[in-house]
């Protein structure tokens, strides 16, 4: 490739130095904001967080003796964790897996009994309603924090993924599982309509209202093969070890791309789920009128043309 062509390409990012300075300033600010114990293991009681590869984070549901049943603390910690990773410049892709025998047994039913007891202490129906609304909103925000996080989230499911587990995984970007995984939307079994994401996201994830409604109305258990055939998961692995290694390797690939490109791709795809094609096109046009001026774009195009080594992108 000629030098003049390269220069022309570099001009696509007219103030490269200024962009770099801004990125560095921003990165410094973000790093400072996250200099607190951050997402290292130990900050959370119900999650184990690590970074197995550069720019890749691994969030492990960690109540193995309780089959990772989601208690009040875990609902809160999932939200805190993903809100933190969303603005952590060292994080570009996230793998979610779970410790112990099952991925998750869903909501902690003992915790739910505790909520019942708390409500029993309040006489007025309106006041009980306010307590429940606050709880449901927190639990919804907890699950939605995976979707709202601008970094791709890959969920890696082994064995049981029940109730709230389906809410969690359908809010993620990519789902992998083991051959022995099984899934169940069991909310109807405990006398409630699912209210933290499954009813909204499962039909889109499987691309079939008929199948999604059947699963949600009956609480029927479905296995990895059916989850794969329906599109709920995109890959099935023989065991947990190969599952994790496949998920981390995918996260590594994603993390090697321009963080601006990946972030914008996720924003556009999530936005487009709930908007018309034209609205989606308007949205991405507005984002790309900025992003096509970024250093990442010039750098990546130049690397493609010159078949140079993979570009190293600045932190975002």
Note whether 163 and 213 are within 8 A (CB).
Answer: no
Give the separation between CA 222 and CA 204, rounded to whole angstroms.
17
Q: How far is the CB of 257 from ligand LH2PNOKW (least distance, A)?
A: 34
Q: How far is the CB of 78 from ligand LH2PNOKW (least distance, A)?
A: 12
Residue 139 or 222 with smaller CB distance to ligand LH2PNOKW: 139
Q: How far is the CB of 71 from ligand LH2PNOKW (least distance, A)?
A: 8
Q: How far is the CB of 172 from ligand LH2PNOKW (least distance, A)?
A: 16
Residue 104 or 258 with smaller CB distance to ligand LH2PNOKW: 104
Residue 114 or 207 with smaller CB distance to ligand LH2PNOKW: 114
Give the Cα-Cα-Cα angle 187, 143, 244 (nearest 5 degrees): 100
Q: Three-state DSSP class for 121? A: coil
Q: Which residues share a beta bridge with 162?
A: 184
Q: How far is the CB of 54 from ligand LH2PNOKW (least distance, A)?
A: 35
**Cα dihedral across residues 285, 286, 290, 291: positive or negative:** negative
Give me the residues that bind ligand LH2PNOKW (CB under 6 A), please: 67, 69, 101-102, 105-110, 135-136, 139, 160, 162-164, 186-187, 189-190, 195-196
Nearest residue to ligand LH2PNOKW by CB is: 163
For the purposes of burial, counting CB atoms within 10 Å of the CB of 123, is it exposed (0-12), middle (13-18) or buried (19 or more)? exposed
Note whether 152 and 266 are within 8 A (CB).
Answer: yes
Q: How far is the CB of 143 from ligand LH2PNOKW (least distance, A)?
A: 9
Residue 168 or 247 with smaller CB distance to ligand LH2PNOKW: 168
Give the separation between CA 217 and CA 49, rounded to whole angstroms.
35
Residue 106 or 259 with smaller CB distance to ligand LH2PNOKW: 106
Give the Cα-Cα-Cα angle 170, 138, 81 (nearest 5 degrees): 70
Residue 69 or 232 with smaller CB distance to ligand LH2PNOKW: 69
Give the separation between CA 57 and CA 303, rounded to whole angstroms.
26
């Amino acid at each position: 490739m000629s030098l003049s062509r390269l220069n022309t390409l570099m001009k696509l990012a007219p103030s490269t130095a200024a962009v770099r300075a801004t990125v560095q300033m921003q990165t410094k600010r973000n790093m400072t904001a996250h200099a607190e114990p951050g997402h290292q293991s130990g900050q959370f009681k119900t999650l184990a967080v690590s970074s197995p590869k550069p720019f890749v984070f691994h969030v492990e549901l960690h109540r193995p003796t309780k089959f990772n049943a989601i208690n009040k603390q875990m609902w809160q910690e999932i939200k805190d964790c993903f809100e933190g990773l969303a603005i952590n410049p060292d994080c570009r892709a996230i793998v979610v897996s779970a410790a112990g025998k099952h991925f998750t047994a869903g909501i902690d039913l003992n915790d739910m009994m505790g909520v019942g007891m708390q409500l029993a202490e309040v006489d007025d129906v309106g006041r009980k309603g306010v307590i429940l609304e606050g709880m449901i909103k927190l639990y919804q925000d907890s699950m939605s924090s995976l979707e709202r996080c601008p970094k791709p989230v890959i969920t890696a499911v082994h064995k049981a993924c029940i109730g709230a587990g389906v809410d969690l995984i359908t809010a993620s970007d990519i789902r992998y599982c083991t051959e022995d995984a099984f899934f169940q939307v069991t909310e109807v079994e405990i006398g409630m309509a699912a209210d933290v994401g499954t009813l909204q996201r499962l039909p889109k994830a499987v691309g079939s209202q008929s199948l999604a409604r059947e699963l949600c109305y009956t609480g029927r258990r479905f296995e990895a093969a059916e989850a794969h055939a329906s599109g709920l998961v995109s890959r099935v692995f023989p065991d947990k070890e190969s599952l994790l290694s496949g998920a981390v390797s995918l996260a590594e690939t994603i993390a090697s791309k321009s963080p601006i490109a990946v972030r914008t791709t996720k924003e556009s795809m999530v936005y487009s789920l709930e908007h018309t094609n034209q609205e989606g096109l308007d949205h991405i046009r507005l984002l790309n009128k900025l992003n096509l001026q970024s250093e990442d774009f010039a750098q990546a195009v130049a690397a493609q043309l010159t078949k140079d080594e993979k570009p190293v992108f600045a932190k975002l």
